[in-house]
Amino acid sequence: MAAPRENVSLLFKLYCLTVMTLVAAAYIIALRYTRTTDKELYFSTTAVCISEVIKLLLSTGILAKETGSVGRFKTCLKENILGSPKELMKLSVPSLVYAVQNNMAFLALSNLDAAVYQVTYQLKIPCTALCTVLMLNRSLSKLQWISVFMLCAGVTLVQWKPAQATKVLVQQNPLLGFVAIAIAVLCSGFAGVYFEKVLKSSNTSLWVRNIQMYLSGIVVTLAAVYMSDGGEVIEKGFFYGYTYYVWFVILLASVGGLYTSVVVKYTDNIMKGFSAAAAIVLSTVASVLLFGLQITLNFALGTLLVCVSIYLYGLPRQDTTVIQVEETASKEKLIHM
């Protein structure tokens, strides 16, 4: 049985969704800008690493507030972090997968327009659905399966002849961008469901689990820095090419992930669907204005299909058990008449 959702005002729900929509759209646009500017290009692996550090610090601060006292906070860290190496190893799996996903996002947005990326990235929905069926033994309704196929058709239309941005002068490889986003989508689906399974396997606090995951994440992303850009980082410095815009992207990446948990807690799937669709629209408008994106018929139709499918996927499932009970009762009533 689903846990009852906390009773909060509609205004607060709208506030949460507005912030999440703006953060999602701003992150994609800002990241795209930093990867296509004519300035010295920063190392994306270091940006991913720093965002993990910030998320660790934020989660630690929230856990400290949640425990209520310094003594309980220290005890919690000692028991769940220092005294639980097995749990740290367990959370290293999503840490590794998320690290790959985040680095693939940088690679994808270096080669795909922000709006094209935003639409294509919605493939995470069918991927997550598949992982949910396989890993959590859940089932999807017929409407959800229809929406999954509709979403895939929409993304296919968008990618058939990708819309071009006339104001972006750097060399791009759309095929490489699509491969990168495909890997990111697979990682997102698996890691999200794996983390949900770990969360539901015990009563351990979400913020404790986040700390365990981000500790592993820092180690994984540092290894990625060394293996991918080690020589250049030693030569040019860890923060080479960093600007205020790059720090803004890192901040959005750090806050966005943590803020999503608030949205999940206080809103439903329909409202989150509207938020995702709104983020796509905002990204498209910003891409037209900032990067000279040329909207094609394929892109417009594909985007419409994706937005509709997101809405349909989030519709509440009909309680078939209630219907079956009512049908049985009505049949028994007819028999006894």
Looking at residue 271, what is its pLDDT?
A: 65
Write the single-letter amino acid at 301: L
- 74-78, 179-183, 290-294: range with highest mean pLDDT: 179-183
Looking at residue 270, what is its pLDDT?
A: 60
- Token readout for 156 is 């296919």
pTM metric for this prediction: 0.81
Q: Which of 230, 225, 205 is nearest to 62 (CA)?
A: 205
Q: What is the pLDDT of residues 148-159, one digit of tens each?
A: 888 888 888 887
Q: What is the pLDDT of residues 57-93, one digit of tens each?
A: 999 999 999 888 888 898 988 888 877 788 888 889 9
Other CB atoms closer than 10 Å to residue 145's CB: what's the count? 14
Secondary structure of residue 253 in the 3-state scheme: helix
Per-residue pLDDT band at 285 (split at 50, 70, 90): confident
Q: Which of 231, 218, 225 is nearest to 52 (CA)?
A: 218
Give CA separation, 215 vs 79, 96, 199, in Å: 15, 11, 17
**What mean pLDDT is reported for the chain?**
83
Looking at residue 331, what is its pLDDT?
A: 46
Domain range list for the chain: 10-316
Q: Which of 310, 327, 259, 253 is nearest to 105 (CA)?
A: 253
Per-residue pLDDT band at 317 (split at 50, 70, 90): low
Phi, psi for residue 293 in degrees, rounded to 5: -65, 130
Write the CB contacts of 197 (distance below 8 Å, at least 6 apart in sequence): 135, 136
Looking at residue 148, what is its pLDDT?
A: 85
Q: What is the pLDDT of residues 295-314, one digit of tens each?
A: 888 888 888 888 888 888 87
Q: What is the pLDDT of residues 33-50, one digit of tens each?
A: 999 887 889 999 999 999
Looking at residue 169, what is its pLDDT?
A: 67
Looking at residue 320, what is its pLDDT?
A: 46
Looking at residue 288, what is its pLDDT?
A: 85
